[in-house]
Structure 1
Amino acid sequence: MLLSVGCTWLQRHQTKDIDACRTCIEKSFAAQQAGNLEEARELLNEAAKLQSDHAETWWNLAELSIQQDDYPAAVDELKRYVELQSSDPQGYLRLAQLYYLQNRYDAAEEWLDEVIRRTPNNFDAVMLSARLARKQADHQKAISEYYHALQVMPHHAEATLELSELLIARHEPYRASSLLRDLSRRALMEEDQARTHLNLGIAYGQIDRWDDAVEQLEVARNLNDSELARDRYRLAYAHWKSGGSQQALKLLIEMADSGQWNERSDALYSTITEGNPQLNNSDTALLVGYETRTAATKPFDRPASGEPLFLPDRLISGDSLSQDAMVPPEWGL
């Protein structure tokens, strides 16, 4: 048994170590902010030597390992944190997230169960559960978990978008469009606005509301700084389905001008022009004339003969793709 003098000395010694440990942690934060990650790790390792059972040190070591993309080290450090702070659900959740990032879904689910058992309505845990179920192709569970997340945090943009995208992928456009219409009326970040209108346009296309699909896709386009080939083609196809062949052709010209021309856009162009003699006479000339004017400054190789790039006889055969193959995947059967 320690005498009172010995107890006092031990308490002072432990207090001194704790103070030194906190100093190391504070210095490690400063080193991280300065971009000196190795120095930050050395300071945290020193703190761990001074107080091996100081949970905050192990949490910060794990976060530093994550920042350095060293997930295995982060897992070990978080497990030590959980040993010391077994009542903190955040430790279990962080472990689940780390295993998820490493595509170790069974391990992620095991640690996630510990979080949900302690805090059933932990929003981040429920969202991770939904994403896990989606990765494992358990779509019914994923949908259920997304709805659970929206009960915890109604109108949450990311939860609503992920749920609507899953519903669209499963060709359930009515449920998706209902969620998205409500979300579109709310104040959102511009990126989320664009994503909302894009998905709403896709959902409307699945139920043959092509005018509405065009309207939503145009809004999404105006909100995006850049445009992928698939987004531009989707909009061209929607315009064509809604009766706007002129607008569809203009978008196809933009695709050609941007180096995004492919068999699908070629087949849609052929279908539009071959099916409408008036367009054959006017818009084909527009397209050929456009390419003739801009070929010198656009990223296309002109034929040696100097002939226009998009004369009808230079197009891929209209038989190369079936009508079904022209349909964007999200609107296919």
Structure 2
Amino acid sequence: MKILGIESSCDETAAAVVADGVNILSNRVSSQIDIHSRYGGVVPEVASRQHLLSILPVISDALKEARTGFDEISAIAVTNGPGLAGSLIVGVNAAKAIAAARGIPLVAVNHLHGHIYANWLSGRIPEFPCLCLTVSGGHTDLVLMKGHGQYQLLGRTRDDAAGEAFDKAARILGLSYPGGPAIDRASQDGEAVLDLPRSWIPGSHDFSFSGLKTALLRLVENGEVCSVNDAAASFQKAVVDVLVTKTLNCAHEYNVKQILLAGGVAANNLLRKQLSEQSPLPVSIPPIGLCTDNAAVIASCGYFRFISGGQDRLDMDVLPALSVVS
């Protein structure tokens, strides 16, 4: 069964074809990083206009790469939230138009669920129950999965998401956009020598990174940061310490069989290393190319929803504020 996935929740226009939920036949992404880097962040109106220019060529390229036509597509899976409203509308309307014209079933996919399903495209099938740490620019969540489509939110950020914190720290340190990769690169030549706080929030699996960001800002303003690389390494270590420790504590409390890592921040080298080394449980970590926004994960998630009877009408709408548990 071949699923066409479409993703346009933020600033990546993506399309992919995935067979049986686990085999990637194509995965095309048109990035807007060069466009938005001059602004230091994503400009929603600019992103929407670029999606309009890219969406049909990207879909066409994905089908060609997969050597597949619309007559071989069993369903179209498309991100309908969360994300930027204007960006989501482009992808959803393209999916609706194709579904209506070709008579292909339409499946709406939660972008956050899609990130989790990167682990089904990594060569090994995860074992339930599992705990997923989803870390991205807008979300930091601990989610318990007891089966496909079964999500229980156990912890989330109370302020800045991990990716958002990395972006803000990069701006404070004068590093490039996007901040996560810039912090990761700078950290390679630095040492975690700064005494930065960790917010543990006793009795909760929630996260908080706002205070950490403010502490870094104060050190910079007071002239206490001599090395940008050391500051980046110190900030990264503080974030990763909290992510790994709280994830392992949560996994122990809920007696899961496996830990899954997902989301754009899952590409961070220190996080991948520390979680793998410190976990007593098997840890599934997707290839870096599947951590950032792409349509293969949307197609995979859509496949499992579709075979369970999930299908949406053509009046399905975008949900910019959709949460991981809806």
Query: TM over 0.5, yes or no?
Result: no
Which entry has the higher C-alpha Rg, 1 or 2?
1
* Higher helix content, 1 or 2: 1
The structure with higher relative contact order (CA 8 Å, sep 6+) is 2
**Whose strand fraction is larger, Structure 1's or Structure 2's?**
2
TM-score (norm 1): 0.20
TM-score, structure 2 length as denominator?
0.20
